[in-house]
Structure 1
Amino acid sequence: MHQQVALVTGGMGGLGTAVCRRLHQEGFLVAATYSPSNCRHDAWLAAQRADGVEVLAFEADVADSPSCSSVVRRLLDMAGRIDVLVNNAGITRDCSLLRMSVDDWHAVLGSNLDSVFNMTRHVLESMIARRWGRIINISSVDGQQGAFGQSNYTAAKAGMHGFSKSLALEVARHGVTVNTVSPGYLDTAMVRRMRGDVLRERILPQIPVGRLGSPDEVAGLVAYLVSEQAGYVTGANIAVNGGQHMQ
């Protein structure tokens, strides 16, 4: 059997890095996309290589369908297949709705939700032809419970699971599963940039386990969902949030 191939969008962030490294550990050939504004991709690749982790890298504007199509075509030309897609790319532009610009709305919906359509649409034909595939959409606890000042972000993250459920119904008979993972607050550089008082007084008291999550904990769930053993799991939204929000 040829080596399976996984494509991770936003693969060079905190969670994206953990997912790329775990899938490499699981034996996948891993490809990561990074945004055109990311000027540190070479350093990231070098750091992974120093740890024995080889990752293919593709610049992509995930909000742009032709850019996504180009990445998929190039990866298929190189590897001949794409077995797993992890839609992880996203941005935030937080403010109250009364102060939110149209550009802020569209930028967040484009990066977080349009990207899921753009990438999935282009990998799906290959998966269906092979009658096997795994699509994981990385949402957020905020998409389940809402968040002050994040109407754009929460709308996009909630929309991701609606997309997952509908697509899961369409492709189940072809051996392709589609699931959503909704992390809570993780110990990443973005969260660590929060003011200490905000983290201690507002965020941690909401989390029953009393700590931030590890990106590796989420990556472990992704590794399960893309495995053969998870073939009966589709259309699910799995929370990894320390009990912050329960359904």
Structure 2
Amino acid sequence: MTVTDKTAVVTGAASRRGIGRATSHALAAAGWNIAVLDLDEAGAKAAADEIAGTHGVQAVGFACDVTDETSVGTAVATLTADAPPIGALVNNAGITSPTPFLEVDAAEWDRIFAVNVRGAYNITRALAPGMAERGFGRIVFLSSVSAERGGGVFGGVAYSAAKAAQLGFARALARELGPHGVTVNSVAPGLIDTDITGGLLEGERKAALLAGIPVGRNGRTADVADLITYLCRAESSYITGATYDVNGGSHIH
């Protein structure tokens, strides 16, 4: 079993400093062909060109709104027709919200769930049947330490609830897809230096946050990307339904 004849789909991977972009590079370095799906079409295509040029694999970038079933269907139809068989899906696309619960409205709540939960459903529902039919697949959800400790980092209740929903989604899906050679796992990052957190990690705020991390630094995108790549290996077939913490020891349970 090899991954070099398969495609890994990574959602929300256009951002230069994001976990999705780093994961796409790490997977490509391991031999995967890559499909970058993102709202930002130009960014997705630029990421694909960069990945193909760096690693010598096939890489494509598509505009895709994971919250929109039609948009997902269009992207998947193109991928299925043109790219090597899809063997991995990284549900990375997500948005956060710091709004306190007593201030959050229904529209904000629905927006957070639309991307993090419905978005993951739309793309997973489109790709999982093919994986099961071919007898091989790796699905990884990008959850958050906020789901495990109940917020208190950057995200509020809506974000924590949505990321916790991903954990239940992944665990139940692992039970269903295991007999078909498809593993489903979750990664729960803590404080990672990305565009989402970058501006908030300065001065006293940064010092206070780092004081609670035993390893003494915030996480890097590569810390998460390397773990995801490990979970997507053909050899990692006996790991499923698990949640991996990547938080430097800031939350130990």
Q: TM-score, normalization: structure 2?
A: 0.90
Separation in 2 of the partners of 1:164 and 1:215? 22
SS in 2 for 1:165: helix
Q: Which moved more, 1:175-184 or 1:59-68?
A: 59-68
User: Is 1:100 the counterpart of 2:126 in the alignment?
Assistant: no
Q: Which residue of 2 aligns with 1:193?
A: 199
SS in 2 for 1:97: coil
Mapped contact 2:37–2:44 kept (Cα < 8 A): no
Q: Which amino acid aligns with 2:240?
A: T
Cα distance 1:207–1:45, how it changes in 2: closer, same or farther (>3 A)? same
User: Is 1:239 the counterpart of 2:245 in the alignment?
Assistant: yes
User: Is 1:162 the counterpart of 2:168 in the alignment?
Assistant: yes
Separation in 2 of the partners of 1:133 and 1:234? 11
Q: Which residue of 1 aligns with 2:11?
A: 9
Which of residues 105, 128, 141 in structure 2 aligns to 1:137?
Answer: 141
User: Is 1:82 the counterpart of 2:82 in the alignment?
Assistant: no
Q: Which residue of 2 aligns with 1:119?
A: 123
Q: Which residue of 1 aligns with 2:39?
A: 35
Q: Give 1:189 deviation, angstroms.
A: 2.4
Structure 2 portions without partners, runs of 5+? none
Q: Which residue of 2 aligns with 1:174?
A: 180
Q: Which amino acid aligns with 1:10?
A: G
Structure 1 portions without partners, runs of 5+? none
Separation in 2 of the partners of 1:166 and 1:185? 27
Q: Give 1:10 deviation, angstroms.
A: 0.6
Cα distance 1:44–1:82, how it changes in 2: closer, same or farther (>3 A)? closer
- Listed one character per residue, the Cα deviations across residues 128-148 of structure 1 (whole Å, up to 9, x for unaligned) are 111110000011111111124
Cα distance 1:77–1:211, how it changes in 2: closer, same or farther (>3 A)? same
Q: TM-score, normalization: structure 1?
A: 0.92
Q: Give 1:93 deviation, angstroms.
A: 2.5
Q: Give 1:43 deviation, angstroms.
A: 4.8
Q: Size of the alignment, in residue pairs?
A: 246
Which of residues 150, 155, 159 in structure 2 aligns to 1:153?
Answer: 159
Separation in 1 of the partners of 2:84 and 2:49? 25
Q: Give 1:115 deviation, angstroms.
A: 1.1
Separation in 2 of the partners of 1:171 and 1:195? 39
- Listed one character per residue, the Cα deviations across residues 4-58 of structure 1 (whole Å, up to 9, x for unaligned) are 110000112310111000111111110011115x664455455546645663111
Separation in 2 of the partners of 1:150 and 1:168? 27
SS in 2 for 1:152: helix
Q: Which residue of 2 aligns with 1:71?
A: 75
